[in-house]
Amino acid sequence: MALDSHGKREFKQIGTRVARPDGIDKVTGRALYGADMSAPGMLVGRILRSPHAHARILRIDTSEAEAIPGVKAVVTGADFSIPDDAALADISVNVMARTKALYDGHAVAAVAATSAQAAKAALKAIKVEYEVLPHVTDVDAAMAPDAPVVQKGRSLESVPAGMGANVTHHCEFGHGDLEAGFARADKIVERSFKTAATHQGYIEPHACLATMNGDGRADLWCCTQGQYMVRTVCAGVLGIEASQLRVTASEIGGGFGGKTTVFIEPVALMLAKKSGKPVKIVMTRDEVFKATGPTVSTSIDVKIGMTKAGRITAGAATLRYSGGAFPNTTVDMGAQAAFAAYDLDAVRTVGWNILTNRPKESAYRAPGAPQAIYAVESVVDELCLALNLDPLDVRILNAARKGTKSSYGPTFDDIGLLATLEAAKAHPHYNTPLKPGQSRGVSCGFWFNFGGNTCVSLNINTDGTVGVTEGNPDIGGSRASISLMAAEELGVPYDKVRTIIADTASLGYNDVTDGSRVTFAVGLATIKAARDAIKKMCGRVAKIWGIDEDAVEWRDGAAHPAGPNAGKFPPMTLEEIAAISFETGGPIAGHYEVNADGAGVSFGVHLCDLEVDKETGQTTILRYTVFQDAGKAVHPDYVEGQMQGGAVQGIGWALNEEYIYGADGRLLNAGFLDYRIPVASDLPKIDTQILEIPNPGHPYGVRGVGETGIVPPLAAVSNAVSRAIDVRMHELPMSPPRVLKAIKAARG
Amino acid sequence: MSAITVSTTVNGDAVDFICQPDESLLDALRGRLGLTGAKEGCGTGDCGACSVTVNGRLVCSCLMLAAEAEGAEIGTVEGIAKGNALHPLQQSFLDHAGLQCGVCTPGILVAAKALLDRNPDPTDEEVRYWLAGNLCRCTGYDKIIRAVQSAAAQMRSA
Amino acid sequence: MVKVLLWGSLRTHTDGQAEVEVEARTFKEVLDRLAEAYPGLRPQIERGVSMAIDGRIYREAWFTEIKPDSEVVVMPYMTGG
Ligand code: FES
Ligand code: FES
């Protein structure tokens, strides 16, 4: 058995569009999401939030609230201790403010009551005395030496002396001689860009249901991208042992990175502890916007030199990111990803993270990359226009490929960028002439992809069916993909396999569903767990046949004698082996535990046709095509779905979505009416072309596909808009007023 | 505030419940009747996740008071299938991967059914405008539109 | 000895060298030797780093083998969404 071979392999089930196991529950309304669970006698939990962008909390008086009939518990920051671990401490302070409210919407107290009405009245009755402090919400303003200080003493050792107190992190990447590179250029373009903070915008608000008994045993049901992460963080914040807290992940109504941390869960647990009753907290949409993770807001300078023939001679970028009131290092990812698509002799990126009085950043699909790549791809487009070069030809000429020393250091192995660009060039979309008033934008995108800690159990049931237990919430069809991989490896039909997602007490640790890791890493672990089970089944059969274990091989769902020398035995199917498993040594199961690596980077190219109404500044997308390397598409429907969903989130980012702060530092648009995510009538069809350049790090060649799709739209749309109005746009989103302003400014 | 008794029909069955005067129909459906298929994505009428029909009219149940449902016929996602037989729209959403996370799906199915009940042969444009009040953050809408159109075609030929 | 490439801002802790040599055969040994030879790197290493070994990115993989001619690049700890 060549178990570790990859490369060309004939798949029987991988790549088919099977029905998803959770499908019927989800179209009939039966699936249980975060807010759909109840417990007998449960209380309603609500959170009081700071109305100030920055304020010292002088006093909190909860006595009146506690006296309201039906109010069973009130908690404030005083109920929580601060964990030693810096990351945990930040989460703890973010879920409940201690001495200062750091942004509009920062939690300052919480109540649990027998009814929503009583909880609401209790929130009103809590008296918080604030001393309002000067605030700063703009990343560039916050970097200035005299800016209001959001948090003191948070700078990492990476920050050179002399920077303002809000600067917490500094990084630098690249190689080669920039000066020499720019000296060789025929044309150099240098531009500054700004991108607004955007929200993941999952339709399901955060929700959880917590119980904590007098003996310290706690249960938590919540919508999360990672139940083990929730357990670790809540146990750390509350100072309880992991084994005492069982976390069950509900069905999840979208996350996109925003549910890779906790907001309400420790608060619900604390309320449950204090009240002795189950407590359910469901966020309002207003709270989701104000207090859960938006992306970083950014300010970026890019300088690129190009020869007349279109070869990039040098690229440099300075990135200033703010992830709100707490330190983060997302700029590392942006600074590494900025020039990843290009094969460059000289490249340098410098990154800074700066604190502002905004909510704590959470990951959002390819965190940090869309902004950086938007800025770089915008300048590349401007150079193509200036030098009269075809934007795809230029990208093909400069594309990173196998053997390229990447802008972030390592040398690339097999990557799909060139094939993706060539597919775009050959596609009818690119070759359709534009009508007057229409324009076309192009952009590349990139994401690293991750593997990570993964644990899978696979049980062979006595009737020949298979149960897979994995630990990653299914955010977009992953149970189907995992079942497919188990079925393929075992050689049994897909519908014989049922995959479930375990709670934290039932399976070993799994990293959160992030970094496009699930189909890759959980898939890998599932395949290996299947192989483990196969090995055991072959062992049983070897004993039955009285031959060597090595003389038995697994093919098409059955054990066969490995060759003529092994003897003549009729094959034994999985079903037959399972049926007699009690007689041959007991239940059969396969396991695999791994910290997976080799995820394989992912590239995409997007084409966008649009027109701009020059009177209103309104942009209409007319045609959109996504090209992306999936390594191997396990379930093409959901690969396409990831590509389309990512593209549309990126289009929203490019055109409409932004956190808008007033002069008082309050968020002005904390609702879907004013924070406008794309709706069906805003969009055309989103066409997709999946490329399959196998990832050498996965037995079936799979690459993660979840994140790359959000990266290219920012520049693809911006480049098209800039070409349509003949003005280079350098700020996102390109909302109609901003586009109009640019048109007017150019007219003079 | 004293509670109000409301008599309605939900998915064809007569149902009585009590509610607070300021309670939304969505909260009553979810909290009092255990019909958690309709979701609250915003509570302000902007996302459509709470879509239900009231006397055949498509409404955001988060914007309607439960007390206003007195005597009304309410349709929710739980009533779309007949027993285990899925409605063509439900089957089509499964066949065309018209859902990823699925949290928008109940509202979209209710809304799409209301559309096809009125207009069995809509254009893509009409489907897109009809569903403009139903936010989906996962799919980019492409497969949703395909799913609706395929169901419509199937229902026309049935 | 293996050559280890560091990202730019770490160079302040290695007297400006972008590439340093350490005696190491595994992921863990690289980090241990780096922290010993350049104590300024210790806080970053303790917070977490990734390492690309021959083009493949690893996070927390102590026993991953490194050949003397392997390309080793220390990278920030990678997180996704
Ligand atoms: S919850 Fe009713 S429209 Fe959003
Ligand atoms: S499928 Fe997730 S919001 Fe529509």
Q: Sketch the domain layout of chain C as residue ranges.
A: 2-76
Distance from CA of B71 to the nearest CA of A (A): 24
The answer to whether B143 and B98 have CB atoms below 8 angstroms apart is yes
A29·B42 Cβ contact <8 A: no
Give the residue, out of B99, B142, B143, B144, with the most ligand 2 atoms within 8 A of its beta carbon, to mutate for a pocket test.
B99
Average pLDDT in the A362-382 region?
97
B106 Cβ closer than 6 Å to some ligand 1 atom = no
Instruction: Find where tokens 């490929």 sit.
Output: A401
How many domains does chain A contain in total? 3
Burial A633-649 (b: 16+ CB within 10 A, else e): bbbbbbbbbbbbbbbbb
Residues A104, A229 within the same domain: yes
Q: Would you state the pLDDT for residue C60?
A: 84
What backbone phi and psi angles, to 5 degrees, belong to A269? -65, -40
CB burial class (10 A; 0-12, 13-18, 19+) of residue A500? middle
Average pLDDT in the A312-322 region?
98
Strand order from edge to edge, sheet including A438-447 = A438-447, A602-612, A619-629, A686-691
Q: Would you state the pLDDT for residue A3?
A: 39
Query: Would you tell me the crossing angle of helices A369-386 and A713-725 to the nearest 10 degrees?
Result: 30
Helix, strand, coil content of chain B in percent (nearest 5): 40, 20, 40
Q: Would you state the pLDDT for residue C9?
A: 86
- Beta-bridged to residue A667, according to DSSP, are A661
Residues A606, A714 within the same domain: yes
Residues A103, A226 within the same domain: yes
Q: In this complex, which of C57, C61, C78 lies closest to A595 when CB atoms are compared?
A: C61
For residues A642 and A447, give the distance between their C-alpha atoms in angstroms, rounded to a whole number: 14
Q: In this complex, which of B42, B101, B135 lies closest to A476 when CB atoms are compared?
A: B101
A680·B141 Cβ contact <8 A: yes
Query: Would you tell me the crossing angle of helices A713-725 and A636-655 to the nearest 10 degrees?
Result: 50
For residues A573 and A579, give the distance between their C-alpha atoms in angstroms, rounded to a whole number: 10
For residues B118 and B121, give the distance between their C-alpha atoms in angstroms, rounded to a whole number: 9
A23 Cβ closer than 6 Å to some ligand 2 atom = no
Residue of C nearest to A295 (CA): C81
Average pLDDT in the A336-357 region?
98
Q: Band the pLDDT of A517: cuts 50, 70, 90.
A: confident
Q: Would you state the pLDDT for residue A598?
A: 81
Q: Look up the domain containing A264 and give its range.
A: 41-133+204-253+259-291
Q: Any residues with CB less than 8 A from the CB of A671 and at least 6 apart, and which? A: A285, A286, A289, B42, B44, B46
Q: Band the pLDDT of A1: cuts 50, 70, 90.
A: very low
Residue A90 lies in a domain: yes
Residues A445, A458 within the same domain: no
Residues A631, A583 within the same domain: no
Considering A596, A611, A628, which residue would you say is the last residue of a domain? Answer: A596
Task: Supply A263's token pair.
Answer: 């907001």
Q: Would you state the pLDDT for residue A79?
A: 97
Distance B37 CA to ligand 1 centre (A): 13
Considering A239, A272, A291, which residue would you say is the last residue of a domain? Answer: A291
E strands, A295-356, where?
A: 297-306, 312-322, 347-354
Instruction: Find where tokens 């699930």 sit.
Output: A518
* Mutation to test the A interface, candidates B136, B141, B148, most A Cβ within 10 Å: B141
Query: Would you tell me the crossing angle of helices A736-747 and A713-725 to the nearest 10 degrees?
Result: 40
DSSP for residue B141: S
- Report the 3 state secondary structure along A78-92: HHCCCCCCHHHHHHH
Q: Would you state the pLDDT for residue B114?
A: 98
Q: Would you state the pLDDT for residue A8?
A: 59
B138 Cβ closer than 6 Å to some ligand 2 atom = yes
- Nearest CA to C37 among C2, C75, C81? C2
For residues A360 and B16, give the distance between their C-alpha atoms in angstroms, rounded to a whole number: 45
Residues A647, A509 within the same domain: no
B49 Cβ closer than 6 Å to some ligand 1 atom = yes
The answer to whether A467 and A477 have CB atoms below 8 angstroms apart is no
Q: B93-114 pLDDT, tens per residue?
A: 999 999 999 999 999 999 999 9
Task: Supply A216's token pair.
Answer: 């310290």
User: Closest-lying ligand to the alpha carbon of B101?
Assistant: 2
Across chain A, what does the average pLDDT equal?
95
Give the residue, out of A203, A285, A637, with the most ligand 2 atoms within 8 A of its beta carbon, to mutate for a pocket test.
A203
Please work out, in degrees rounded to the nearest 5, the angle formed at the alpha carbon of residue B17 by the alpha carbons of B11 and B23: 100
For residues A150 and A135, give the distance between their C-alpha atoms in angstroms, rounded to a whole number: 7
Residues A369, A481 within the same domain: no
- Which residues 684-703 in chain A show a CB within 8 A of chain B? 685-686
- A22 touching B, CB under 8 A? yes
Helix, strand, coil content of chain A in percent (nearest 5): 30, 25, 40
Give the residue, out of B96, B138, B144, with the most ligand 2 atoms within 8 A of its beta carbon, to mutate for a pocket test.
B138
Residues of A in contact with C19 (CB under 8 A): none
pLDDT over threshold 50, residue A437: yes
Residues of C in contact with A160 (CB under 8 A): 12
- Nearest CA to B112 among A25, A680, A476, A683? A680
For residues C77 and A669, give the distance between their C-alpha atoms in angstroms, rounded to a whole number: 34
Q: Any residues with CB less than 8 A from the CB of A583 and at least 6 apart, and which? A: none
Residues of chain B with CATH 3.10.20.30: 4-79
Q: A184-237 pLDDT, tens per residue?
A: 999 999 999 999 999 999 999 999 999 999 999 999 999 999 999 999 999 999
Q: Would you state the pLDDT for residue A60?
A: 98
Residue of B nearest to A638 (CA): B97
B62 Cβ closer than 6 Å to some ligand 1 atom = yes
B15 Cβ closer than 6 Å to some ligand 1 atom = no
The enclosing domain of A507 has a CATH number of 3.30.365.10
Q: Which atom of ligand 1 is nearest to the CA of B39?
A: 1
Distance B99 CA to ligand 2 centre (A): 6
Give the residue, out of B60, B65, B134, with the most ligand 1 atoms within 8 A of its beta carbon, to mutate for a pocket test.
B60
Q: Would you state the pLDDT for residue A614?
A: 95
Residues A390, A467 within the same domain: no
Chains C and B physically touch (3 or more Cβ atom pairs below 8 Å): no
DSSP for residue A399: B
The answer to whether A139 and A297 have CB atoms below 8 angstroms apart is yes
Across chain B, what does the average pLDDT equal?
97
DSSP letters, A171-233, are EEEEES-HHHHHHH-SEEEEEEEEE---B---SS--EEEEEE-TTS-EEEEE--S-HHHHHHH
- Beta-bridged to residue A301, according to DSSP, are A192, A318
Residues A95, A208 within the same domain: yes
Average pLDDT in the A542-561 region?
96
The CATH number of domain B88-157 is 1.10.150.120: yes
- Nearest CA to A453 among A638, A240, A226? A226
CATH number of C2-76: 3.10.20.30
User: Closest-lying ligand to the alpha carbon of A255?
Assistant: 2
How many residue contacts between A and C have a Cβ separation below 8 Å? 105
Q: A233-271 pLDDT, tens per residue?
A: 999 999 999 999 999 999 999 999 999 999 999 999 999
Q: Would you state the pLDDT for residue A515?
A: 64
Tell me the residue type at B91.
Q
pLDDT over threshold 50, residue A5: no
Residue A165 lies in a domain: no
CB burial class (10 A; 0-12, 13-18, 19+) of residue A84? exposed
Q: Band the pLDDT of A2: cuts 50, 70, 90.
A: very low
- Nearest CA to A71 among A120, A128, A129? A120
Q: Would you state the pLDDT for residue A599?
A: 82
Distance A718 CA to ligand 2 centre (A): 26
A157·C75 Cβ contact <8 A: no
Alpha helices in A546-627 (DSSP H): 574-579, 581-584
B135 Cβ closer than 6 Å to some ligand 2 atom = no
The answer to whether A736 and A654 have CB atoms below 8 angstroms apart is no
Q: C30-58 pLDDT, tens per residue?
A: 999 999 999 999 999 998 899 999 988 88
pLDDT-above-70 percentage for chain A: 99
Q: Would you state the pLDDT for residue B1?
A: 62
ipTM field = 0.98
The answer to whether A503 and A227 have CB atoms below 8 angstroms apart is yes
The answer to whether A344 and A180 have CB atoms below 8 angstroms apart is no
Q: In this complex, which of C11, C59, C75 lies closest to A408 when CB atoms are compared?
A: C75
For residues C72 and A228, give the distance between their C-alpha atoms in angstroms, rounded to a whole number: 31
What's the Cα-to-Cα distance from A741 to each of A738, A748, C72, rounded to whole Å?
A: 5, 11, 49
Residues A425, A480 within the same domain: no
Residue B82, SS3 per DSSP: strand
C9·A172 Cβ contact <8 A: yes
Q: Band the pLDDT of C81: cuts 50, 70, 90.
A: low
The answer to whether A618 and A437 have CB atoms below 8 angstroms apart is no
CATH number of B4-79: 3.10.20.30
Q: A679-714 pLDDT, tens per residue?
A: 999 999 999 999 998 888 889 998 888 999 999 999
Task: Supply A438's token pair.
Answer: 């229409």
Distance B105 CA to ligand 2 centre (A): 7
* Interface chains of chain B (3 or more CB pairs under 8 Å): A
Residues of A in contact with C8 (CB under 8 A): 171-174, 348, 350
Q: B16-70 pLDDT, tens per residue?
A: 999 999 999 999 999 999 999 999 999 999 999 999 999 999 999 999 999 999 9
Residues A491, A565 within the same domain: yes
Q: Which atom of ligand 2 is nearest to the CA of A254?
A: 2
- Nearest CA to A95 among A116, A111, A85, A109? A109
CB burial class (10 A; 0-12, 13-18, 19+) of residue A545? middle
pLDDT over threshold 90, residue C78: no
Question: CA torsion A612→A618→A623→A627, rounded to 10°?
Answer: 100
Residues of chain B with CATH 1.10.150.120: 88-157
Considering A534, A563, A596, which residue would you say is the last residue of a domain? Answer: A596
B99 Cβ closer than 6 Å to some ligand 2 atom = yes
Residues A381, A433 within the same domain: yes
Residues of B in contact with A501 (CB under 8 A): none
Tell me the residue type at A470.
E
- Nearest CA to A530 among A703, A704, A699, A702? A699
Q: A89-109 pLDDT, tens per residue?
A: 999 999 999 999 999 999 999
The enclosing domain of A274 has a CATH number of 3.90.1170.50
Q: Any residues with CB less than 8 A from the CB of A732 and at least 6 apart, and which? A: A193, A194, A195, A196, A374, A653, A654, A658, A714, A718
For residues A371 and A378, give the distance between their C-alpha atoms in angstroms, rounded to a whole number: 11
Across chain C, what does the average pLDDT equal?
92
What's the Cα-to-Cα distance from A14 to each of A53, A480, A693, B148, C38, rounded to whole Å?
A: 51, 11, 15, 27, 48
